[in-house]
Structure 1
Amino acid sequence: MTETAARSKYGRRNIVSGLLFGIGLVAFLDETVFHQLLHWHHFYDRSTTGVGLVSDGFFHAFSWFATIGGLFLFADLRRREALQPQAWWGAVLLGSGFFQLYDGIIQHKLMRIHQIRYVDNVHIYDWVWNIAAVLLIAAGCILLLRSRRTRQS
């Protein structure tokens, strides 16, 4: 494998690892903080509390699979000395932001499987949630662009 092909292959692996870890991390934080600690909602709130708790369990398992998958790829990159920290962190932020934006728009508003919190002024929570997601995406894109420029020079 040529050096350029290896760099491209491992560059993509850095991105996939970071995306998986970012998605898993934010899903884990969402489930832990908003579902378990604050009791604001369940993953699926359109049924009984029991169904909501089971859906939380599946959501928690998903978050761990994504997190662990990302960390296995991360460990492989470290072992091969192919880790690109700036690109990896950019992908973590990007994955975190994309998951949060998907949750805020698709799950909260379009599918209506749950809301952030069941209060009269839920729009304030929605705006904060989605703006934070956009900021994570922007920060991730900036880091990825800087990483690309660093690798090219």
Structure 2
Amino acid sequence: MARKNDLSQRNILSGVLFGIGFAAFIDEMVFHQLLRWHHFYDLSTTEVGLISDGLFHAFSWFATIGGLFLFADLRRRNAFMPMVWWGSILLGAGGFQLYDGTIQHKWMKIHQIRYVDNVFVYDLVWNSIAILMIIAGLVLILSFKRRREAS
């Protein structure tokens, strides 16, 4: 039987993968397809942007499915820790969003959240939500660990 710490780590990995995949899926669906604000890679033609969106979409599904396979294994083993898993989803989604908003938008400049004169407001909201998700995820995970250590 796996140790409690190993199971906690599996819950975290499952949740983080699912969170990354889910956030990437929502980003691609809403901002790339429905609103058409940008493509994953905007430094070339529209066709290249669409291909990059397809690859990004595939990545989001691989992460989501990987997280769900781990989730199914945790459920099968009766090792599912809901508070840790949900916290990890927030951690993964927020981490992905912060990476996207800082590294891809500002450092690599492969796309912006939206091409407008005052993109600062969009960046502020995008990155603030990411930070709040990361904090909420960490609070859930750490409060679970504190409860477990106290009992």
Aligned partner (choices 5, 9, 20) of residue 6 of structure 2:
9
Deviations 1:113-152 (A, max 9, x none): 0000000010100000000000000000100111101222
The alignment's C-alpha RMSD in Å is 0.8
Q: Say which of 50, 73, 77 aligns to 1:76.
A: 73
Task: Provide the identity percentage.
Answer: 69
Name the CA distance, whole Å, in 2 between partners of 1:139 and 1:60: 26
| Aligned mate of 2:125, from 123, 128, 132 | 128
Q: Which contiguous aligned blocks of 4+ residues in structure 1 show a shift greater than 6 angstroms?
A: none
Displacement of 1:60: 0.1
Residue 96 (structure 2) aligned to one of 78, 96, 99 = 99
Letter in 2 for 1:61: A
- The corresponding residue for 2:114 is 117
Q: For 1:151 and 1:91, how far apart are their aligned partners in 2?
A: 17
**Equivalent position of 1:37 in the other structure:** 34
| Structure 1 spans left out of the alignment, 5+ residues | none
Task: Show CA shifts across 1:30-86 (max 9, x none).
Answer: 000000000000000000000000000000000000000000100110010000000
| TM-score, with length taken from structure 2 | 0.98
Give, in angstroms, the shift of residue 8 of structure 1: 1.3
d(CA) in 2 for partners of 1:71 and 1:113?
30
TM-score computed with the length of structure 1 as normaliser: 0.96
Structure 2 SS opposite 1:66 = helix
Q: Structure 2: which 5+ runs fail to align?
A: none
